[in-house]
Every structure is written in C-alpha cells, then in structure tokens.
Structure 1
C-alpha cells in the first residue's frame, strides 16, 4: 500500500538544517554545459567533503541529536560511511563503520584514513546494516542511517535549496539508491519543479516501488551498485516521490560508463558510476529536454579510481 502516512521534510526543516550545518559543508559549484544543442547545468556535489553529498545528512543527524553521542555507527556501501567518519573526526566523536566486503578498496582505505574503525561484513548493504545494529544499541551510540531517517533526508534536502539559489530549473535529475537525496530534493521543490529519478537497470529500487505502490525488495547489481545498491527504497524517499509525482527512468551500465567518460572529457570532473548516473539519462536520450527547458543534473559522487578515464574523444 502507499506510504501516505510517512513524514518527509518540510521546507522550513530544510532551511533549519542549512543553518545548522553551515560552516561544516561546502556550497558546491554549478557549471553550464551543452549536449546535442541542449544547454543544462551540472550541480557538482561530488566536490563536497569526502566526495559526495552525504556529509549534509550526516552532519544534520549528529548536530540535531538531543545529546552529544559517544560514538557514531553507520552501515554503508562506502560514501555514507566516509561522511560519518568525516563528521566524527570533525566533531571529535569516534566512528564505527560497517561496509560490505564488496566495497571498493579506495573507499575502505579512505575510511581508515579518516580514523574510523571499519568492519567489512557480508556481500551487500543489507548485511552490513544488520551487523551494525548490535553496536548501535550500546549506550551513547548514535546510529546514522544512510538514507531513511528524517534528519538524514532533511540534510540532503539542502542540496535542492542550494541549487535553487544558484540557477532556475524546470527539471532536476537525481540519481537514486536508497532515496535520501531524491527524498530531500523533492521535499525542497514540493512539486514546483519537475524532479526526475534516474537509476541503473541493476538497482531499480524506486522504479520498482513506484510501479508496485510500495517498497519492493530488489537484488542490486551492476556498475553503480557500490553507491546506489540499496536493496529496497526508503519509506521517506518513496513517500516524497509518490506525493509529488516523481518520474523514474532506468539507464544501462554502458550509458553510465559513457557519462563518466563525457564528464571527464568535457569538464575534467572525475565522477564515480553512481555520480554519473543522472547525467547518463540526458546523454543517452532516456530523458529528452524540451526546447528551452532549464535542466539541472546533480553529479552526486566522485569516489572512484579515475585511472580508466580517457581524455580522448569517442571513436
């Protein structure tokens, strides 16, 4: 059944989150680009601390807690864990991060460099989350959910609030994993701007849920599974998407790979696969802008080895 009873952030809550995390996060830049004669805007959220949008929600979760925690606990495919580890180091709070054994080594190494205690458990996010729960129940521990808690989604909504100040948009394209970013951005725009969700064929959590009307378990796979590989959409993100009529598009791994290469060739921005997923919809034609339509694309993550990126034009 639909998630109509689920609460998602108000604009007022997102504005309070902006004030709360100000000074802890970067105001990330936008850049104007063109493809096939259509201009559009890239919101470079991969230039946020730790290489993704995730510190926004993590800082908001910790700074809005009723008491200062003794330890932060998080399960993650990598980017959320990096954010929580960064928050812990910035605020002087130890962090325990649980990641799947399949997490990219570049992310695991960065977690350790941030001073986090890293636990590699299972083959996917769901197993890492389950393993984290015992530690999260200890006195003084604060569990910081990757995408399905109101403080997390509210913090991610500050991406939308910031983008709205930088450029006017008719349409905003957002990659979806567990739904924290789409939930926050959609909550900010509240139907005044079209928000389009973009997912890989192998990670269709929102797409499947919108078709069914409720969260549907999936089996994440493919190029972007390390960052967009939630097995089920979060209730908050789904409720926001349902209530505002979010459209969901699917793109293939080849489209995502081509979008990464295009970003590097055209802008020298090295995105990870999940970070290039929303752009893949524009470049592949899965999303076709109307003449004069003002389109913005959130490039949400950059934690990948750039060694496979080429500056040479496609042949």
Structure 2
C-alpha cells in the first residue's frame, strides 16, 4: 500500500459536533439507513484506505467508528500488517463487536470483517479463496490470448466467511480486485464469478446464499463496463443503490464498491434497500468553507488521509 501524503496543515474540529452531523446526515430521507430490527440485518463494505499506514488520530478513529455503528457486518479492505489502529477502531465501536481478518497478501493488504456478536454469528466457514492449477487454466477472456495474460491466481485472495443471523444463513466473499491492469482485473472477476456459480447448488458450504462484496474497482454498474459484464455473464445481480447521484469514491463518479448475489438464491432475502453513506458531505464543513477555489484540494487531502477515499456501501437483508 502507498499512503496518501499527509496534509501539511492543522485543522481543529469539535468531535461531538462532527458526530452530530454524521447522525443527522444518515437520517436524511435520501440517505436513510434502516434501523436495526428483529427481522433485518445490515451488511456493509468499506475500503478503509491504507489503514494502519496513515496515522489517524484518536478523534478520526472515533468518527470512523461512528460511520460503521449502524451496521451488523462491515467487510473492510486495505488493512495493513500493523493492526494497532484497527484494534483501536474496534475499541470505539459500541456493543458486542468482534473481528476476523486475513494475513497480508498482494500490496501488503489484509481483508477483514467487523461484526456484531449479538446480531450475527460465524457458522465455522472461514477461508481464503485460492484456485487450483486446472481451475486457473480455465480462466480465459474471449479475444485475449492465455499466454498474453495468464491467470496465475488472485493478487489478494478473496476472504469468505459463513454467517448466520436469525433464519438467514449466508456466505460473504470479501474482495479487493486488481487495480492497475484491466486484463488481470477481468480475469480475477471471471474467476470469482465462475467459482461462485459453481458453488451455489452444492451440498456443503459455501452454497446457496453467496454474497460477493468489496472493492471491485468497477467504474460503472451498467452493461458495457467490462467488470460488470463478467459478473452478469454468470448470473450475478448488482442492485443499484438508491442514493441518487452518489458514487462510492469521494468524487462521486464511480461505483468501485459493490454487493452482488444470485437472484435465484438471494432475492427473497434481499430487503430491496441499498445505499451509499457519503460521510464526506457531512464532515468538516468549516474546512470545506475555508478551502475555496484551488484550495478545495485541502479538504480532499484531509478527508482521504484521516478518514478514507472510499465511501461505505450498505444493503439490507431479511433475517
């Protein structure tokens, strides 16, 4: 991972005022995050942005915890080898929260989950998705010569964990697909979708409700986007969130982060509500006001270093 450059200026803020703004923003009708109920579960994904390399201060970790609190499971990406800040973030979450994470892989990243023990329990399945030789050789893209771009495995093995919440038993596969090479990203996407399709009707887990979640590095959720097309080819559905005109990156123009599943298995469990929590439209209003003209970059420098450069994406399911 390469940390963003640390801002060369100081900015002081009132923590309680910022928390109040977050709570007001997430209650807006256009952002409305559902309340926890006996019959629902809220699943989210968030790329934490070089987490453990960029030295957030305690008040920033408090704000990040506040962003995560409404949810029952948060799949996270870009967690560093050093887990000290991750453990401090966990300490700021209220309630019975637990966590799981992988070892470091490509780009020295871990993948992980934070979940509420009082709402969700692991079923016992916890594994990284690594493909065998003959499986890798079968991953080819039409029009692309295998020797030109062979699939040698995932740069960061997807991390699958089985969970149960009420009557809903499901497997989440947390991914962070390759960024800098579109051919390799397409191969990873095909491998992931093909594997998931092969598992949904198996007798043993992971099967039935398989939810792919994480940072797909997908510019747009629409036909013609190569990553979207690879997923759709195998029957995966990528519901469009209802947060109008808001992408999951800070610029708001891309849909990098996604939650995907097979309608034939999971549509009846999906509550139909899904959204982006654009915390950057609530936090640090004074800094935004001060950062006029070309100095608007100060706001974005501060946000992506001390909070994140991805927004959180969530979906509601039935339990």
TM-score normalized by structure 2? 0.28
Q: Which has the higher helix share?
A: 1
Q: Which has the higher strand share?
A: 2
TM-score normalized by structure 1? 0.28
